[in-house]
Amino acid sequence: MFVWKSDAINTTTAYVLATIPVSLMVFAFVKGLSLSKDNSLATHRYLLRMALTMAFYLITLMLAEHFIDGRGLTGPVAALLAFLPGLSFAGVVWVFGGLIMEEKDEFFRMLYVRQGLIATGISFTLAAIWGFLETYRIVEPVAAFWWPTIWCLGLGVGAIFNKIKYGTYGEIR
């Protein structure tokens, strides 16, 4: 059940909330390109991979919305179209892991790992709490794709925690 179909929020708000992490990643990509001569190879690869992953996400999401919701497509093709946008979240984790593995600076690697752990803690904790609230019928179900979206937002929270503790967000350099 989609969150906007449960009347928790309307469709426009849902799309705005879903595009916030994507917009932040696009902003980071554009900023990274403007500083390209100072960036590490790991950063270049991260930005390129993330841009491709987000493009794949947006294209497959629009296709799914158009054909499944808009045209009433059903069956195996609809299942494939519904599967593809979710697959892009695996790409986001793979791209972030690649940044950690390819970063040569140990301090920045630690900052990225810390961001990922904070994001994972936030999204897993919220998913578990919401799951128990759903189980006991205190709240309406929420579409599962929100949990990786919250993980992406959690990366930003992790960056803020890095800034507070270490004086740097762990900026893509």
The whole-angstrom separation of Cα 119 and Cα 97 is 13
Res 4: pLDDT: 46
Residue-by-residue DSSP string for 30-79: HHHHHTGGGS-HHHHHHHHHHHHHHHHHHHHHHHHIIIIIIT---SHHHH
Map out the domains of the chain as residue ranges.
3-166
The whole-angstrom separation of Cα 106 and Cα 48 is 22
Res 160: pLDDT: 96
Name the CA radius of gyration of the chain, rounded. Answer: 18
CA angle centred on 142, ends 22 and 120, rounded to 5°: 55
The whole-angstrom separation of Cα 88 and Cα 86 is 5
Res 37: pLDDT: 62
Res 64: pLDDT: 92
Res 133: pLDDT: 98
Sites in the chain below the pLDDT cut of 50: 1-4
